[in-house]
Amino acid sequence: MLQLFLSEPIWNDNGDENSAKIRVSLLSQLESTIWLFMASGGRSEARLWLCNTIGRISSLTRHNQCELLLDLLRSKPLKKGFASQLVEMIFENSPHKAGSIISKRRNPTRISKWFSKAGGGLGHEPGAKALSQFSFVNRDTCWEELEWKGKHGQSPAVVATKPHYFLDLDVQATVENFLENVPEFWSSNEFSESLKDGEILFVDRKYFVEYFVDLMYKEDSKDVWKVTSEFLKEECFSSLCKRLLITLDESDLCDFLKMLFKYLNPRMEQKDLMDSSYLFEVILSKCADFRSFDEILLLNAVFNHGRQLLRLLRDEEGHEEQARIKDIVSKICTIPSDDSSLGPIIKDCFKMKNIQACKLLGLQSWVIYYSLSEQCRTHDSWESLFLCNAISFRTSDRYSFLDNQGAYEEGGSDLDRKASKTVKHKKKHSSRRKRKKRDFDHNDSYDNEVLDLQSNVGSWFLSIDEYSASWNIEDLPEYVSKYCLSTWMKWVGFSFTDENLSNDKLDYQLEKVGKPRSSDGRKDAKFKRAYYEREV
């Protein structure tokens, strides 16, 4: 049975070092094989996973997220693709912000399209209203520039009493006259007001996106940067990351991660390492020494996207590589082990760079995820796993009896209720058939449904989370493997909750980094913990 290694190592015992070396070697082989998949087509998927993980970071304040993205926008070389995508977001979500800038800077050639939206006449569009209002106010100087479709023009007095006559205006010809002979219109309050809602941006979107990016970079326009800052503070960080980070090439995304590092503060909220976003913050905070973008991609894949990684490996056509991964995982799982067999590896992590230690633990947790997904598919296999690894469990009340109408009794879970809806749906559907056939089909499907539910629907409350949640077969591989990973990470010290540092472990850590146990001979954990945090 699979060993989960949930017993804390004995810190003064070296354990089976030979088994540890074999395990490390096999994990290294597993890393190389996974990268063969990444290089052959899974790399873009891994980048998308990384962008999604970054977007889930919760410790950034709105002010910090604004500063971070502005730093990226201003960094060299210029990120014009990133900036263009950001401007697109501003146009879509806050067009009035961009419209206020356009209202101060007019391009009459492009803006002429603004007035042709009415399809040949002046309707209720903002541009049409601006033209009519300006013409009435300044009728003594510009009325003769209006072009009409009929045989004769209309006077201001007639149009004042019958405003619908404005619909007979030849818009294109009138705008051309205004462009040439009425320049004051383009700087008028009437025209500026028509632009402020930002609707004009969609007349020639590509042009205005490029125009805004030029204002940002070529003119260093203060009002454009102000609008950009306001938008970055207001928008959800997750939305910004999913939309913007994917536009960056790998070197720029790597630079962004290094910029992000200085804004992270996982101490602000001492969450559990089971939280994926918090775990990623801890990784970045501890692993600022990563040498390549590949290392972060791999870490994120095995730490936070184990299920997607397994699906990717199964979907690829590299049957030879799939067989190799299966073989490596099988060898890792059959290494002779006892409760402390992972101890030498855990202890070796203190000698490694943080990113190497993280990678080792992450790969081992993914081995557990892979094995559980492949091997534990029945209730008996899961319960054997719990017993083998000293995990106490209680069966969840998932086997509620169905009443005569096929509905679950109260107290069932969401999964129970979904199953109940399925039964009701089948019964309702069968009621459309003839009476005898309906009764036969209903009884047959009812019996089969009960058998299916009894064999497939089940869950457990586990002691590892103090029986706080009900876990089913589908979610257990991910949960258990992540629980193992978080446990090992705490042993190694990849956590900002100092209660995870036991007295013996602090002695071991201080010795490994060449620090004395204490400066004045005291052995209490509180002193050593403070010393360790200050010096290491």
* pLDDT, tens digit, 9 for 90 and up, residues 357-366: 889 999 999 9
pLDDT at 441 over 50: no
Residue 331 lies in a domain: no
Q: Given this model, what pLDDT does residue 174 score?
A: 82
CA dist., res. 459 & res. 473, Å (int): 7
Based on the fold, state whether residues 75 and 205 are members of the same structural domain: yes
Residue 412 lies in a domain: yes
Based on the fold, state whether residues 405 and 433 are members of the same structural domain: yes
Based on the fold, state whether residues 92 and 214 are members of the same structural domain: yes
Based on the fold, state whether residues 95 and 120 are members of the same structural domain: no
Based on the fold, state whether residues 123 and 242 are members of the same structural domain: no
Q: What is the pLDDT of residues 209-245, one digit of tens each?
A: 998 999 999 999 999 999 999 999 999 999 999 999 9
Based on the fold, state whether residues 229 and 117 are members of the same structural domain: no
Q: Given this model, what pLDDT does residue 420 score?
A: 38
CA dist., res. 497 & res. 189, Å (int): 60
Based on the fold, state whether residues 90 and 207 are members of the same structural domain: yes
Query: To 10 degrees, what angle do helices 95-102 and 80-93 make?
Result: 100
Residue 330 lies in a domain: no
Enter the DSSP assignment of 121: S
**470 has which bridge partners?**
461
Q: Mean pLDDT, to the nearest integer, of 307-312?
A: 89
Burial class (CB in 10 A: 0-12, 13-18, 19+), 210: middle
Q: What is the pLDDT of residues 338-357, one digit of tens each?
A: 655 677 788 788 778 888 88
CB atoms within 10 A of CB 67: 18
Based on the fold, state whether residues 210 and 79 are members of the same structural domain: yes
The more confidently predicted of residues 369 and 291 is 369
Cβ(359)–Cβ(292) below 8 Å:
no
Beta carbons within 8 Å of 171's beta carbon, 6+ residues apart: 115, 116, 118, 120, 121, 122, 128, 131
The mean pLDDT value of the chain amounts to 76
Q: Given this model, what pLDDT does residue 423 score?
A: 37
Residue 306 lies in a domain: no
Based on the fold, state whether residues 99 and 208 are members of the same structural domain: yes
Residue 228 lies in a domain: yes
Based on the fold, state whether residues 125 and 80 are members of the same structural domain: no
CA dist., res. 535 & res. 54, Å (int): 30
Cβ(364)–Cβ(27) below 8 Å:
yes
Give me the number of domains the chain comprises. 3
Question: What domain range is 207 assigned to?
Answer: 60-103+196-248
Q: What is the pLDDT of residues 168-188, one digit of tens each?
A: 777 778 878 887 888 888 778
CB atoms within 10 A of CB 59: 17
**393 has which bridge partners?**
462
